Amino acid sequence: MTPAHPAKDPTMKIAALQMVSTPSVERNLAAAAGLIADAARQGAVLVALPEYFCLMGAETDKLAFAEPDDGSGRGGPIQAFLSDQARAHRLWIIGGTLPIREPGHERVRNACCVYAPDGTRAARYDKLHLFAFDNGRESYDEARVLEPGAEPVTVVAAGLRTGLSVCYDLRFPELYRAMTFGDTAPLDLISVPAAFTYTTGRAHWELLLRARAVENQCHVIAAAQGGTHENGRRTWGHSMIVDPWGEVLAVRAEGEGVVIADIDAERQRQVRLQLPALAHRRL
């Protein structure tokens, strides 16, 4: 159960951080630190990192670098980095994803951890839907090394009731409906850290993000991997922030950078007042 909203500012800056991550955790954390600092200087109160921000190498690397969850939110160097960055810059961090191993499990979870400005972990969501794709030229099957999470997770971050999801989850609108109608209030923000392939991203990324924003009448923040990685994989990028009417407020096509926008609580209220679709839901 998500706690009641604290009062929301009428407008606030949020930032999606686009990366082109490498097989080196050390280099990736350094790159993420620079982007977080840049977003903080621009006035962001909440930043989101992409899926696998800490590691883009071979699939088996997720097993080698998986961290435990000891309940402190600092169970390994990647988790400690996110905690320290949130506290150092006094902002909310939606920490993309990192591999977390459950005791006694061979496969790992693709976990999104959210940290509050005091460095405490506010939420952990494990990716529910595992990506598989094979068009004869590209082949992916996350279930080889990952195991799925068990349930949806929401968190109030920067006063925004935020639904957590990861990459392939974007294709399953029922996940967001469960978060919207399974609690005391609709979502204010959907977070989608991703590493969409170039092929699937070009076809569906923006379409799906804008659809999720429109049908849930909330903002969407989508921090993505965007470029050609050292392991040869090419990701689509196009990190973006979308408003409740489906308008793209900010986007970056490829390459490392900060995608920042003001989100407006009054704009969201007006959309829901003028077109009360959430109140009209029957199923």
End-to-end CA distance of the chain: 22
51 is catalytic: yes
Instruction: Give the whole-angstrom CA distance, residue 177 versus residue 157.
Output: 19
Catalytic residue among 54, 113, 167, 218: 167
Only one residue has tokens 């990028």, namely 237
Cβ-proximal residues to 236 (8 Å cutoff; 6+ apart), any chain: 196, 197, 198, 200, 201, 202, 205, 224, 226
234-236/226-228 β-pairing: antiparallel
With b meaning 16 or more CB within 10 Å and e meaning fewer, what string describes 227-250? bebeeebbbbbbbbbbbbebebbb
> Could you tell me the two tokens for 189?
């923000």
Q: Are strands 239-242 and 234-236 parallel, antiparallel or unpaired?
A: unpaired
CA–CA distances in Å: residue 258 to residues 4, 209, 247, 262: 30, 18, 19, 13
Could you say which of 13, 54, 113, 127 is catalytic? Answer: 127
Q: Is 127 a catalytic residue?
A: yes
Catalytic residue among 13, 51, 67, 113: 51
Q: Is residue 13 annotated as part of the catalytic site, yes or no? A: no
Query: CA-to-CA distance for 86 and 103, rounded, in angstroms?
Result: 27
Chain centroid offset of residue 50 CA: 6
Place of tokens 């704009």: 267
With contact defined as beta carbons under 8 Å apart, do 81 and 114 qualify? Answer: no
Residues assigned a catalytic role: 51, 127, 167
